[in-house]
Structure formats: structure tokens, C-alpha cells
Copies of this chain bind each other. A is one copy, B any other.
Amino acid sequence: MEKTQDGAAARRRAGPAPDLVARPARRPRRVSMADVARLAGVSSQTVSRVSNGHPGVVETTRQQVLSAMKELGYRPNSAARALKSGEFRTIGVILFTLSTTGNVRTLEAIANSAAQQGYATTLLPVAAPTQDQVRGAFTRLGELAVDAIIVIMEVHLLDAGTVTLPPNVSVVVMDSDAGDRYSVVDTDQAGGARDAVRHLLDLGHETVWHVTGPAESFSAQRRTDAWRATLEEAGRRVPPPLPGDWTAESGYQAGLRLLQEPDCTAVFAANDQMALGLLRALHEHGRRVPEEISVVGFDDIPDAGSFTPPLTTIHQDFTEVGRRCVEGVLRQLRTDTMERGTTLVPTWMVLRESTAPPPPRE
């Protein structure tokens, strides 16, 4: 108990100490095909055939085998199966963190897609985004029971020539411009950012300020680039971008700085969390959204509709991204090819209440 309880308060409330119950007949040499075969009075090959649903087993035999399986509680040994067949029916996902919405939603989509295809998903988190860490992860993934790998991270960290991808493994990369070397699936970051900026310009705003994501992120870079390009195309002034790091706190800080800019009437935040912080900063200082300042986010996280006010944002179709990652990686696996090129998944704008025409010029 002392090892499982910290703090007097919790100790007081905790249940009884965990019992130790000796497991009666643990590891009684797991039931194998041979055992089932013996009980059913057939050969183990026949058991294999039944187990894998092969044709050419007479119904009565099949039933005998099935009931023997049930009686013994037989479960195929996936290690042996994998050793024989050479495939694990598992997709590995390598990522840094589950703390960004995008990663989580994508992972969920990947896991669901994979499950539908009969594949399991193995997670390999990398603690810190350093070269060595990533290489370590890949080494382990190589040893791991994995047929294919999906990388959710900045690709520069893993090419630079130092990291060797495990051979015989399909790879799909996200958040990357490495379409010339890998198969890349990603949200159409540029298109989304462009839509956001155009929306604000169409409402009549003179120009649009921008709170960026972290410099290391390719997604962030592309959103920023598209923001700038769209303004330039429209012949508008390009205000200095306000640096952020995806967190609401950084959005808040950006908001504080924006308060110094009296002629700012529209902001495009590179994600919804930063937009949240921005809204708070504006609200705290009495700047009304959208009457005085319009704000657009990016991601469309589930809570975005409950911000104060509900946030107009760019919806990312993570489900689709995940589905295409799995599709891509399995296609490469099955066709024994290596694909290159970039697949972009479109975004769409979700109009809520954080945008409006600018206030009349003074």
C-alpha cells in the first residue's frame, strides 16, 4: 500500500490493500494446435485449416475441431503465426506526443482504420524530438512486430541521412514536405489557411494578423506561408506574424501584444487552442469579438463551438487523413512497392460567431 498511495488524504480514502492471489495453474504450456488435434482426433494441420477458415474440411470434422477448441480454450499463437507467415498484422505509429489535438485525432483515426482492416496499432512514443531518440525508436520498431510504419512528425528529424528506415517496412509520413522521398499524407494546410484569410478579407477587413505555430512544425510553416501569400496576392499589407507554440498560453501572450495594435481588426490563429488564449486576452481587456476584432482558428477541435464566442475555424478532416495513411501503408505493403508523393486532404471552414465585418473606420 505504501508504494501505491502518496499523500495522507488519499491514503485515508483508499480501498484495502491489493490482495495477492496466486494464479493456480499459470503457464500450463498454453494450448496448442496439437492439443486440439489430439482431443478432436484429427491432425494438427486440419486444426490449422479450421482455424484459418480454409475450405476442404468436411462439416462434421469442422464441428469436432471447433468444439475441441472451445473445450480447451484454444487461442492461436500469434508469434508462431507471424513467424510462419512473415506478417504481424500490426501497424506501428511513431510520434512525439499525444498532447496536440491533431496527433491524437489522427492516431484515433489510424487505429480505427487499421482495426477495420484487421490490423492492430502499436504506439511508439518518442520522448524528446531529437535525432537520437528518433533513431532509437526506429531501431525498436524494426525489432518490433510491425509490418508498416506511420510517422507523425517533422521528417527533417529523421532523414538527414542518419536514420535508416527498417527494410521491408512500408512508411507513410505526416507533417512533412518530403513527398519526394516518402509517401506523405497531410491536411491541405495551405488551402485551409488561404480560406481563413480570404474569409476575413471578404468580410471587409483591411488586412489579417497571424499567430503562428512553432517554427519547427511544417504544418505551422505552411499555414504561415499561405497566410502571407494570400495577403500579398490581394495586395494587402502583411503585418509581422506573432510567434506562438500551439498552446493557449502562447495565444494569450500574442493577444496581449495585439492589444497594442489599435488598427488590428482580424486575426488568424494557426490553431484553435491559441485562438482560445487570444479570445481570453481580448476579453480581459474589453475588446469585443467579433464586433471589434474577428478571430479565425484552425483545427475545429470539439470544444471550439463552446468558446466565448463560438469560434469560426478551419476544419481538419483527421478521420480522412488517418484513413489514407492506413490505406497508403497497406497498399505499399500488399503491392510490394514504395510510393512517393504527397496526398492532401481538403479542409473546410466552419462558420461560427467569432467573425464579422470590421467596425466602421473612425
Give me the interface of A with B, judged by CB distance under 8 Å: 4-7, 9-10, 13-23, 26-27, 30, 73, 75-80, 82-83, 86, 88, 90, 97-99, 104-105, 107-108, 111-112, 115, 120-125, 127, 140, 142-145, 164, 166-168, 179, 183, 188, 190-191, 247-249, 251-252, 273, 276-277, 279-280, 283-284, 302-303, 305-310, 320, 324, 335-346
Contacts and interface: CB of A to CB of B under 8 A. Distances in A.
A98 B90 contact: no
A90 B120 CA distance: 12
9 contacts: A6-B345, A15-B344, A21-B339, A23-B336, A78-B144, A78-B145, A79-B145, A120-B140, A280-B306
B337 A308 contact: no
A339 B83 contact: no
Contacts of A346: 5-7, 9-10
A331 B88 CA distance: 27
Q: Does more than half of chain A's interface fall in helix, strand or loop, or is it mixed?
A: mixed
Nearest to A191: B13
Contacts of A167: 73
Given A125-B115, A191-B10, A306-B276, A75 B337 contact: no
A110 to B, nearest CB: 9
A329 B231 CA distance: 55
A23 B76 contact: no
The 7 closest A-B pairs by CB, nearest first: A18-B341, A248-B306, A10-B346, A79-B82, A15-B342, A98-B108, A79-B83
A337 B142 contact: no
Contacts of A343: 4-5, 14-15, 18
A199 B122 CA distance: 42
Contact of A168 (B27, B124, B179): B27
Nearest to A17: B341
A337 B20 contact: yes
Contacts of A124: 111, 115, 120-121
Given A7-B346, A78-B143, A249-B305, A122 B125 contact: no
Contacts of A16: 341-342
Given A252-B306, A302-B247, A344-B15, A168 B26 contact: yes
A273 B303 contact: yes
Nearest to A346: B10
Contacts of A342: 14-16, 18
